[in-house]
Copies of this chain bind each other. A is one copy, B any other.
Amino acid sequence: MDKEEQVLMSFKNLLNKLILLNKTKMEESLKGYKPSEVHCIEYIGKHVDSNVTKLAEFSYMTRGAISKMTKKLIKKGLIESYQKPDNKKEIYFRLTEQGKIIYKIHEELHKEFRERDKAVFEQVTEEQLDMMIHFAEKYSRHLEAEIKKQGIKINQNKFDE
């Protein structure tokens, strides 16, 4: 295995572990809420006028899946939908009071995770962090161009958090 592959493998491994650990932690603090649901709440909490399509793109999931999930979140009373007077097609979401509580807890958890991993980040310089971000974004843009070239719809699944 050469270095190119090694980089990607180590990233995959890292994120798998991170997902596993954080998911387990989250299930303790937020019993009854699935990671994908919390993820959805997080996005809605951070973006005004989020709708099914935008959520799907952000989450790398299909609109169908998001449609079902938002319905469930509405039923659970965590989000509510609304429309605008000049558009009868698009449906937007916002958090309910209960949803905001979940959002808050999730934020706290994130802080906890950061605290937990602080030691690791203390061992790299800011320049190194910048370098990695730059690399990942450059690579991302390269893939983005390839995806466009192929005419692939970004709707498939994977890697949330």
Contacts and interface: CB of A to CB of B under 8 A. Distances in A.
How many monomers of this protein are in the complex?
2
Query: Interface extent on A, as a size class?
Result: 35 or more
| Consensus secondary structure, chain A interface | helix
Contacts of A130: 3
Contacts of A109: none
B128 A131 contact: yes
A143 B10 contact: no
10 contacts: A10-B140, A11-B11, A14-B143, A17-B143, A20-B147, A20-B154, A21-B150, A116-B146, A158-B159, A159-B159
Given A11-B136, A20-B156, A117-B142, 9 more contacts: A7-B129, A12-B15, A18-B143, A20-B60, A24-B152, A25-B150, A120-B135, A120-B138, A132-B132
